[in-house]
């Protein structure tokens, strides 16, 4: 292989070919002329003139699928972590994401709330398809309970009530109703780094005293998932300041029980307890 660039060799070969032609040395042209042409082509190739466009190399691993906007809601939905078991048979008139209308018999196994869209989703078995299917409640246009014969006019309200009246729904409602009382207790209990079971049980007992139809074990589990920021603490204390004196005394008593529940007096925990007492006295 020549150590000179291909174009230089090509030009030199072609110039020699011209000189040999002028001086009548035509027999040498069979060497210099092809050499000049070959090196000229090599120069073009090295510059990429005859290079085919490179195809993208497939990347291994997870591939993100892109769906039409009308289908994203059904196919790319994160459901809530706590489904409600149902196990009921229904006849539905359903309009899918492409506006196709079908009538189906489905056995609903679980009801989910969506974290992204606020819609409800039914994990079901479709008897027409003989396969599991997920249905968006807002796309159900007609709904009949085949076990009772009841025709349900508002599917969304119907299934939302199923959630609200479930054990989890009742627990969630209670936590939301008393959130301004509970959040400072969560902040207080976690201030030493861990919300102990004995501290959670104090909050559970408080909520059950307000509504005795709550599932104790489920309530304990849900309380353990709660967190409270300093900002949320201050907001809740502002709300609690407007409670009646008897209600404020009850909250301070609850805070006192939480401080002493784990039999460990943490300085930070005591400081927050004093802050709660001070805010509720003013």
Domain ranges of the chain: 6-46, 77-165, 168-281
Cα 230 from Cα 33, distance rounded (Å):
86
Structure confidence at residue 74 (pLDDT): 41
Q: Which among 153, 184, 180, 154 is positioned nearest to 277, based on CA atoms?
A: 184
Mean pLDDT score, 59-84: 42
State the pTM of this model: 0.59
Which range among 45-54, 213-222, 236-245, 253-262 shows the weakest confidence by mean pLDDT?
45-54
Mean pLDDT within 246-269:
91
Report the chain's mean pLDDT, rounded to a whole number.
Answer: 80
pLDDT of residue 62: 35
> What pLDDT is attached to residue 266?
85
- Give the tokens for residue 245: 């004196």
Alpha carbon distance 115, 121 (integer Å): 11
pLDDT tens across 145-169, in order?
999 999 999 999 999 888 888 888 8
Task: State the sign of the Cα–Cα–Cα–Cα dihedral 3, 9, 12, 13.
Answer: positive
Q: Where are the alpha helices (DSSP H) in the chain?
A: 6-22, 29-46, 69-75, 155-164, 167-177, 179-190, 197-210, 216-223, 230-240, 245-261, 267-281
Which burial class, exposed, middle or buried, applies to 124 when counting CB atoms under 10 A from its CB (0-12, 13-18, 19+)? Answer: buried
Share of the chain above pLDDT 90, in %: 54
From 1.10.3470, 3.40.50, 1.10.287, 1.10.3680, which CATH number describes the 168-281 domain? 1.10.3680
**Secondary element (H or E) of residue 212:** none
Q: What tokens were used for 277?
A: 């007492």
Q: What is the pLDDT of residues 1-45, one digit of tens each?
A: 444 556 566 676 667 667 666 766 666 556 666 666 666 666 655
Residues 6+ apart with CB under 8 A from 174: 207, 210, 211, 214, 219
pLDDT, average across residues 81-106: 87
Give mean pLDDT, residues 193-201.
Answer: 93
Q: How confident is the model at residue 250 (pLDDT cuts 50, 70, 90)?
A: very high
Which tops the pLDDT comparison, 124 or 39? Answer: 124
């Amino acid at each position: 292989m020549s150590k000179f660039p291909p174009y230089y060799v090509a030009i030199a070969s072609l110039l020699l070919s011209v000189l040999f032609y002028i001086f009548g040395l035509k027999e040498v042209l069979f060497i210099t002329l092809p050499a000049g042409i070959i090196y000229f082509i090599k120069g073009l190739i090295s510059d990429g003139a005859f290079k085919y466009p490179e195809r993208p190399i497939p990347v291994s691993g997870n591939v993100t699928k892109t769906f039409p906007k009308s289908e994203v809601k059904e196919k790319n939905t994160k459901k809530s972590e706590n489904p409600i078991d149902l196990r009921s048979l229904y006849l539905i008139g359903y309009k899918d994401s492409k506006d196709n209308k079908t009538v189906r018999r489905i056995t609903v196994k679980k009801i989910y709330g969506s974290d992204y869209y606020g819609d409800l989703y039914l994990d079901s078995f479709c008897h027409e398809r003989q396969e599991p299917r997920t249905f968006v409640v807002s796309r159900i246009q007609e709904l009949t309970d085949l076990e009772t014969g009841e025709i349900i006019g508002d599917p969304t309200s119907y299934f939302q009530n199923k959630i609200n009246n479930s054990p989890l729904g009742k627990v969630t409602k209670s936590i939301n109703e008393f959130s301004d009382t509970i959040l400072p207790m969560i902040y207080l209990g976690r201030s030493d780094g861990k919300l102990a079971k004995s501290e959670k049980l104090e909050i559970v007992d408080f909520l059950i005293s307000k509504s005795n139809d709550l599932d104790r074990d489920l309530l304990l589990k849900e309380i353990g998932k709660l967190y409270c920021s300093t900002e949320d603490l201050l907001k809740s204390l502002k709300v609690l300041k407007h409670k009646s004196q008897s209600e404020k005394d009850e909250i301070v008593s609850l805070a006192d029980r939480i401080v002493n529940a784990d039999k460990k007096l943490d300085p930070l925990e005591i400081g927050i307890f004093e802050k709660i007492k001070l805010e509720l006295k003013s």
